[in-house]
A and B are shown apart, each in its own frame.
Chain A
Amino acid sequence: MSKISPGSVGAVSPQTMHFSEPLEFRSGARLDAYDLVYETYGTLNAAHSNAVLVCHALNAAHHVAGWYADEPDNIGWWDNMIGPGKPLDTNRFFVIGVNNLGGCFGSTGPKSINPKTGQPYGSDFPVVTVEDWVEAQARLADRLGIARFAAVMGGSLGAMQALQWPLSYPERVGHALVIACAPRLSAQNIAFNEVARQAIVTDPDFHGGHYYRHGVVPRRGLRLARMIGHITYLSDDVMAEKFGRELRDGHIKFGYDVDFQIESYLRHQGDKFSDYFDANTYLLITRALDYFDPAADHGDSLAKALARARASFLVVSFTTDWRFSPARSREIVRALLDNRADVSYAEIDAPHGHDEFLLEDARYHALVRAYYERVASSIGAGT
């Protein structure tokens, strides 16, 4: 416990909310009942006006901040951002993290039991979209008595949810913090996702997505998927700086085992990931990324798609992010400007690529902190 930094929300516990009202998905599929696992930090004020929803990206979940009493090393994925006195200050705001539907950390997903078959859903779990996640999050908000979020915030795929919220529920969100986002994937983005999916579905242990009943997991595929994903999260520069052409054992070995440190690193990341992540969830989440395209229903005009938003926006990008480059964020900014929306945009010159949104960069955190001052004054919770 002594290693826990000051400013942590401390020991937290996940909670589960059961929903028995059917949820219809964008695909037309439906779930008759489902669970959402979530965590909250801070206190909901009497007016229920200080709630902030934090949306997760590909491999994270509801454990956003703090740690678990029985697992003090299991620290929330955005703990540097959220806590007492942190940029998103839990002394002022009531923060919610939720594992999205289709996830593999407790919310109903492919490895949950399908009540119709008594077996895990596997690949029968509906393909979920960002819009569906927002719908499920809104139902959780209803249950928690939150009519309107002071802010919805996320990075990467989480930012897509933060962008979708003011479109799905214009009156239910005051501010959207959209960090390291893209308004839709490029062909290159989809290509990387497809390679990851192919790695999984061609793994002999995949069994058409029903590997649970065979007592195996498509580890090799998941491992490759993570390795390729990881390459896209880092900048060329940071990879060069961190690993360069450094050799693990000091000399090349004229073989195909690990020679270079970068190989060792990627293998390690892949191994770690395949130990805890569900392959079907990976497939489903990459598809949610592929399908996110709010402009599609508006003649490919993002400006028209965002016209219904009533929220104020903070958009942040990172100069070395080539997965969702600053140009992609500027597309969002331009569409918001065309709608005369309240928007601020920061382009942080930082070395780490897409992953930067998770790191503790002083300029980035100062901006988010300043923006939350604005959010706080908008709900009368200013200093």
Chain B
Amino acid sequence: MSSLRADFALIESWIAPGSRVLDLGCGDGTLLSRLKRERGVSGYGVDIADTNVLAALTNGINVIQSDLEAGLNTFTDRSFDTVILSHTLQAMRNTKRIMEEMVRVGLEGVVSFPNFGYVKNRDQVAAGRMPVSEEMPYQWHDTPNVHLCTMADFDRFCSDLGITVIDRRAFTDDREILSGDPNLLGALAVYRFRKR
């Protein structure tokens, strides 16, 4: 589980103390709790699952039960400093819409997703199989992931949407990829972006 959360420390470093954060797909509120504690942020988590809403509420998070696929129409333009979508983008159907909503509601967006371009995924495809990994632990027929992409794909996607990438990092086994091609070496991609 820890490597799934390798991005949290990085995301924390991107969040200014005292800023306003919206955490989409907040789960039990682990990230937002950490940001509240370490960065003194205020904000809300958003999740659709009853169990997550209850867990986040229990963990002291302000949580709004909502379906991200329907957009963020409960939230006003530019009402947050940062909108985070961690480990959720690949499971969303309305990918374009949520990206547009993130930069509408927030001054900056942060997204993390499993990088399909990671060498071990490419190897599995080359060997004739759909990849299964720590970041994508599902069989093809039983996966919530409907929109997997590589970092190169996501770069182009952002560009097409008029979104400027401020920073992009990659991680494998909890360690940041500091040299070489992140799209080849990184299992998990983390992007920081804003509207152009």
Interface residues of A, Cβ cutoff 8 Å to B: 330, 333-334, 337-338, 340, 342-349, 363, 366-367, 370-371, 373-374
A346 to B58, CA, bound (A): 13
Shortest Cβ gap from B102 to chain A (Å): 16
A337 touches B58 (CB 8 A): no
Q: Say what secondary structure dominates the interface of chain A.
A: helix
B74 touches A363 (CB 8 A): no
For residue B142, CB closer than 8 A to chain A, the reply is no
Contacts A333-B74, A337-B79, A338-B76; A347 near B58 (Cβ below 8 A): no
Closest 4 CB pairs of A and B: A345-B64, A370-B58, A370-B57, A347-B65
A191 to B60, CA, bound (A): 41
For residue B75, CB closer than 8 A to chain A, the reply is yes
Q: 8 Å CB contacts to A: which residues of B63-85?
A: 63-66, 74-76, 79
For residue B113, CB closer than 8 A to chain A, the reply is no
Q: Nearest residue in A to B20 (C-beta to C-beta)?
A: A340
Total A-B residue contacts, Cβ distance less than 8 Å: 51
Chosen A-B contacts, 8 in total, with CB atoms closer than 8 Å, are A333-B64, A342-B62, A344-B53, A344-B64, A345-B65, A347-B66, A370-B58, A371-B57
A337 touches B60 (CB 8 A): no
B54 touches A338 (CB 8 A): no
* CB < 8 Å neighbour of A363 from B42, B50, B62, B79: B50
Shortest Cβ gap from B72 to chain A (Å): 10
Residues in A with CB closer than 8 Å to B191 are: none
* CB < 8 Å neighbour of A367 from B42, B57, B75: B57
Contacts A333-B64, A337-B74; A344 near B79 (Cβ below 8 A): no
B79 touches A367 (CB 8 A): no
* CB < 8 Å neighbour of B54 from A342, A343, A367: A367
A337 touches B75 (CB 8 A): yes
Q: Nearest residue in B to A333 (C-beta to C-beta)?
A: B74
Q: 8 Å CB contacts to A: which residues of B128-174?
A: none
A171 to B74, CA, bound (A): 27
Contacts A349-B50, A367-B54, A370-B54; A343 near B74 (Cβ below 8 A): no
Residues in A with CB closer than 8 Å to B53 are: 344, 346, 367
Residues in A with CB closer than 8 Å to B8 are: none
Q: Nearest residue in A to B57 (C-beta to C-beta)?
A: A370
Q: Kindly supply a per-residue 1/0 record for chain B positions 34-67, scoring 1 wherever the CB is within 8 Å of any chain A CB and 0 otherwise.
A: 0000000010100000100110011011111110
* CB < 8 Å neighbour of B57 from A330, A334, A344, A347: A344
Interface residues of B, Cβ cutoff 8 Å to A: 20, 42, 44, 50, 53-54, 57-58, 60-66, 74-76, 79
Shortest Cβ gap from A321 to chain B (Å): 14
Q: Which of A344, A348, A366 has the most CB of B within 10 A?
A: A344
A337 to B73, CA, bound (A): 11
A371 to B54, CA, bound (A): 9
Residues in B with CB closer than 8 Å to A371 are: 57
Shortest Cβ gap from B83 to chain A (Å): 13
B54 touches A366 (CB 8 A): yes
* CB < 8 Å neighbour of B44 from A337, A338, A349, A366: A337
Q: Nearest residue in B to A371 (C-beta to C-beta)?
A: B57
A347 to B64, CA, bound (A): 9
* CB < 8 Å neighbour of B60 from A340, A346, A366, A374: A374
Residues in B with CB closer than 8 Å to A348 are: 50
Residues in B with CB closer than 8 Å to A373 are: 58
Residues in B with CB closer than 8 Å to A333 are: 64, 74
A67 to B168, CA, bound (A): 63
Shortest Cβ gap from B130 to chain A (Å): 32
Shortest Cβ gap from A332 to chain B (Å): 10
A340 touches B42 (CB 8 A): yes
Contacts A363-B50, A366-B54, A370-B58; A346 near B65 (Cβ below 8 A): yes
B74 touches A344 (CB 8 A): no
* CB < 8 Å neighbour of A334 from B58, B61, B74: B74
Q: Nearest residue in A to B51 (C-beta to C-beta)?
A: A363
A349 to B66, CA, bound (A): 12
Q: Nearest residue in A to B76 (C-beta to C-beta)?
A: A338
A347 to B74, CA, bound (A): 13
Residues in A with CB closer than 8 Å to B54 are: 363, 366-367, 370
Q: Which of A342, A367, A373 has the most CB of B within 10 A?
A: A367
Shortest Cβ gap from A169 to chain B (Å): 22
Residues in B with CB closer than 8 Å to A347 are: 65-66
A83 to B61, CA, bound (A): 26
Shortest Cβ gap from A379 to chain B (Å): 15
B60 touches A330 (CB 8 A): no
Residues in A with CB closer than 8 Å to B20 are: 340
A338 to B76, CA, bound (A): 7
Known interface pairs A340-B42, A345-B63, A363-B54; 5 further A-B residue pairs with C-beta atoms within 8 A, sorted by A's residue number = A344-B62, A345-B64, A346-B57, A347-B66, A366-B54
Residues in A with CB closer than 8 Å to B66 are: 345, 347
